[in-house]
């Protein structure tokens, strides 16, 4: 993601949502699955590697 300030001011909204429960809500929508945190992703991938 580009963290540079956007001329359209959208990044200002996102920077607020990047902390707290709002960020989790966003991830939930993107994944369309159970709520996951950034820490969950590498752990799950590592587990999948272990089973293969």
Mean per-residue pLDDT for 24-45? Answer: 59
Q: What is the pLDDT of residue 43?
A: 66
Q: How many domains does the chain have?
A: 1
The pTM assigned to this predicted structure is: 0.16
Inter-residue contact 27 to 37 (CB < 8 Å) = yes
| Structural domain harbouring 20 | 10-51
- Residue pair 27/36 in contact (Cβ under 8 Å)? The answer is yes
Domain assignment present for 18: yes
Give the tokens for residue 15: 């920077």
User: Tell me: the pLDDT tens digits for 3-34?
Assistant: 666 666 555 555 554 555 555 555 555 555 55
Does residue 50 register a pLDDT over 60? Answer: yes
Mean predicted confidence (pLDDT) in 28-49: 61
Do residues 11 and 5 lie in contact, with contact meaning Cβ atoms separated by under 8 Å?
yes
Domain annotation covers residue 2? no
């Amino acid at each position: 993601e580009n963290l540079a300030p956007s001329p359209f001011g959208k990044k200002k909204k996102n920077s607020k949502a990047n902390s707290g429960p709002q960020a989790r809500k966003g991830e939930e929508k993107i994944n369309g699955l159970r709520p996951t945190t950034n820490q969950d992703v590498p752990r799950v991938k590592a587990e999948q590697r272990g089973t293969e």
